[in-house]
Amino acid sequence: MAVLSSGYWWSAFGITLLITVVSVAIEFVLGLALALVMHRTIVGRGLTRTVVLIPYGIVTVVAAFSWQFAWTPETGYLANMLPAGSAPLTDQAASIVLIIIAEVWKTTPFMALLLLAGLALVPDDLLKAAQVDGAGPWERLTQIILPMMKPAILVALLFRTLDAFRIFDNIYILTGGSNGTGSVSMLGYNNLFRAFNLGIGSAISVLIFISVALIAFIFIRLFGAAAPGSDTEGRRLTWLSRRPEPRRASGPWPTLWC
Amino acid sequence: MDPQPVVQAGEHHHRRELHPREWTLENYAQVFGVSLFTSALINSIGIAIIATVLSVVIGTMAAYAIARLRFPGKGLLVGISLLIAMFPPISLVSPLFDIERAIGLFDTWPGLILPYITFSLPLAIYTLSAFFREIPWELEKAAKMDGATPLQAFRSVIVPLAAPGVFTTAILVFIFCWNDFLFALSLTSTERSQTATVAIANFTGASEFAEPTGSIAAAAVLLTIPIIIFVFFFQRRIVAGLTSGAVKG
């Protein structure tokens, strides 16, 4: 109760929620765009995909340090591009923007890769059929590709949100939680390992766990039948039969089935 | 023409440029001079690959069961696997340390592989079951009709078709194991099983007060190379249209 009635918890909670929502939303849009690009690229496909994934592959702490270095006034190459005298990591709003940038830079590849894998499941003939029926690119994306990818989108958004809500490394290194930028995980860490308030710290851990569980629950409810484990028998077939019969131009049968 | 620095004297101490003025490989040499780094690299590669393979194999089977079969406690299994993904890992470190000390897994490869499998399985199960459910039932029925046992149908029909999902999962799990710091730091102590991320953290500068920025940066670059190789070889299996035309709509 001491935690729930404390202003620290709620301000950290608000900051965490803000960072989570904004970064996951940006990551989803960027990730989808990247996935579509990676999906369609023919020349240098391996290279494109590998390059896109590199930020995710860099050790988080090292990446966070290089961001911090880049934004430090005087020595940082990015700070030098800003007007002289500005120190973005000492201001709350600017720090949060930078934390979100670092977070988005780091984990968009995760989102992009999962969405790319989801894209691989959208049948090409369905898209061609829609094109023949006069659906534009935007309609094809929102009416066919996204609904077909729903399970993949659920997994990508769910796991990213769970991770983003527990953001720690990036904030710890970029601002150390100063100027009101601390996340709930920072709060828990400070109480457990810095102040040795074991009771308060444990209560915070439990609260984080409950928040995360709540997020997961909401996601699974929102996506309903697309969640793993729900009954799906025959779903695909009924779905297909509602669509006009796809034209099968020289059917791209996988070699497996020849 | 000789390129002249355009910065005024006195100013260039403060102004850093986007491009380095001198190139050096000294830091890389220094990294391999640290006796622990080479063994740590081998540990990292071995542990990450074994954990990835096991996690993907177990995850594939579990996800297939979740997507296809009805069995009691399915909802519970799905829920618990998500619960593992939500649990704050930091609170598990000290109990794991005690357990591994007691049963002699501390500072061994299995001592790291087991937690890695545990924490990467939820993602593997969720990703893979999202894939399996998109693969038409009819394919298995056709395989069964042709006389395949369920295991044969799974192994030679379903898994190849789910290849994009399997390899996506493999890439993500590999990166997770490769970049883990928390478990590696607390569950290892010597070169027998210490991984590269921990080795970086133990770098020391020329003097007690000097941050070994150069070595850390060089080691971080070296650490991304295996990931690049791994991703480069695995991404080519993420291709579209494997199931297209398999069933007449």
Distance from CA of B99 to the nearest CA of A (A): 21
* Domain of residue A149, CATH code: 1.10.3720.10
Query: Structure tokens of A39?
Result: 């999906």
> What residues 104-143 of chain B have any CB closer than 8 A to a CB of chain A?
123, 125-127, 129-131, 133-134, 136-137
Tell me if B36 sits within 8 A of B189, measured CB to CB: no
Q: How far apart are CA A94 and CA A73, in angstroms?
A: 14
Q: How confident is the model at residue B91 (pLDDT cuts 50, 70, 90)?
A: confident
**Residue of A62, A66, A125 to mutate when probing chain B, most B C-beta within 10 A:** A62
- Which of B51, B66, B34, B16 shows the shortest CA–CA distance to B175? B51
Give the pLDDT confidence score for residue B235 in this predicted structure: 82
Tell me the average pLDDT of chain B: 81
From chain A, pick out residues whose CB is under 8 angstroms from the CB of B91. Answer: 205
Contact B179 A77 (CB under 8 A): no
Tell me the average pLDDT of chain A: 78
Query: Structure tokens of B160?
Result: 């190849």
Between A and B, how many CB-CB pairs are < 8 A?
183
Q: How far apart are CA B142 and CA B16, in angstroms?
A: 65
Q: How far apart are CA A215 and CA A221, in angstroms?
A: 10
Least confident of A6-10, A104-108, B5-9, B51-55: B5-9
pLDDT at B146 over 80: yes
Query: Structure tokens of B130?
Result: 């999202």
Buried (b) or exposed (e) across B183-206, using 16+ Cβ within 10 A?
bbbbbbeebebbbbbbbbeebeee
**Given phi > 0 = left and psi -120 to 50 = alpha, else beta, which region is B113?**
alpha
For chain B, helix (H) and strand (E) counts, in that order, are 12, 0
Tell me if A23 sits within 8 A of A15, measured CB to CB: no
Which whole number is the average pLDDT over A192-221?
83
Residue with tokens 């007690």: B208
What is the assigned CATH class of domain B45-195?
mainly alpha
Which whole number is the average pLDDT over A18-31?
93
Give me the half-sphere count of Cα atoms (radius 13 Å) on the Cβ side of residue B40. Answer: 28
Q: How far apart are CA A169 and CA A22, in angstroms?
A: 18
Which whole number is the average pLDDT over A105-127?
86
Domain of A125? Answer: 21-181
Q: How confident is the model at residue B248 (pLDDT cuts 50, 70, 90)?
A: low
Residue with tokens 């620290």: A8
The gap from C-alpha A120 to its chain's centroid, in whole angstroms, comes to 19
Tell me if A222 sits within 8 A of A151, measured CB to CB: no
Give the pLDDT confidence score for residue A240 in this predicted structure: 39
- The Cα angle at residue B186 between residues B182 and B187, in degrees rounded to 5: 110
User: Which residue type does B85 have?
Assistant: A
A201 within some domain: no
Q: What is the tens place of the pLDDT at every residue in A216-240? A: 888 888 876 666 655 444 344 333 3
Q: How far apart are CA B159 and CA B15, in angstroms?
A: 55
User: Which residue type does A255 have?
Assistant: T
Which whole number is the average pLDDT over B80-90?
81
Which whole number is the average pLDDT over A58-62?
81
Give the pLDDT confidence score for residue A79 in this predicted structure: 74
Name the residue facing B130 among A56, A155, A237 (closest C-beta): A155
Give the pLDDT confidence score for residue A250 in this predicted structure: 38
Contact A53 B179 (CB under 8 A): no
For chain A, helix (H) and strand (E) counts, in that order, are 12, 0
pLDDT at B46 over 90: yes
pLDDT at B20 over 80: no
Q: How confident is the model at residue A85 (pLDDT cuts 50, 70, 90)?
A: low
Give the pLDDT confidence score for residue B8 in this predicted structure: 42
Buried (b) or exposed (e) across A97-110, using 16+ Cβ within 10 A?
ebbbbbbbbbbbbb
> What residues 204-243 of chain B have any CB closer than 8 A to a CB of chain A?
216-217, 220, 223-224, 227-228, 231-232, 235-236, 238-243
A254 within some domain: no
Give the pLDDT confidence score for residue A228 in this predicted structure: 62
pLDDT at B242 over 70: no
Rg of chain B's alpha carbons, rounded to an integer? 24
A218 within some domain: no
Contact B133 A154 (CB under 8 A): no
pLDDT at B195 over 70: yes
A227 within some domain: no
Give me the half-sphere count of Cα atoms (radius 13 Å) on the Cβ side of residue A232. Answer: 23
Q: What is the tens place of the pLDDT at every residue in B148-185? A: 888 888 888 888 888 888 998 999 999 999 988 888 88
Q: How far apart are CA B98 and CA B187, in angstroms?
A: 10
A245 within some domain: no
Give the pLDDT confidence score for residue B10 in this predicted structure: 42
Contact A254 B91 (CB under 8 A): no
Give the pLDDT confidence score for residue A230 in this predicted structure: 57
Which whole number is the average pLDDT over A13-18?
90
A187 within some domain: no
pLDDT at A257 over 60: no
pLDDT at A255 over 50: no
Number of domains chain A contains:
1
Least confident of A106-110, A129-133, B91-95, B154-158: B91-95
Give the pLDDT confidence score for residue B19 in this predicted structure: 66
From chain B, pick out residues whose CB is under 8 angstroms from the CB of A54. Answer: 224, 227-228
More confident residue, A3 or A220: A220
Q: How far apart are CA A26 and CA A108, in angstroms?
A: 8
From chain B, pick out residues whose CB is under 8 angstroms from the CB of A194. Answer: none
Query: Structure tokens of B66?
Result: 């979740």
**Which of A198-202, B15-19, B49-53 ranks highest by mean pLDDT?**
B49-53
A4 within some domain: no
Q: pTM of the entire structure?
A: 0.81
What percent of chain A has a predicted confidence (pLDDT) above 90? Answer: 13
Which whole number is the average pLDDT over B78-97?
82
Residue with tokens 């977070």: A103
Q: How far apart are CA A152 and CA A120, in angstroms?
A: 10
Give me the half-sphere count of Cα atoms (radius 13 Å) on the Cβ side of residue A53. Answer: 31
Q: How confident is the model at residue B13 (pLDDT cuts 50, 70, 90)?
A: very low
Name the residue facing B78 among A122, A229, A252 (closest C-beta): A229
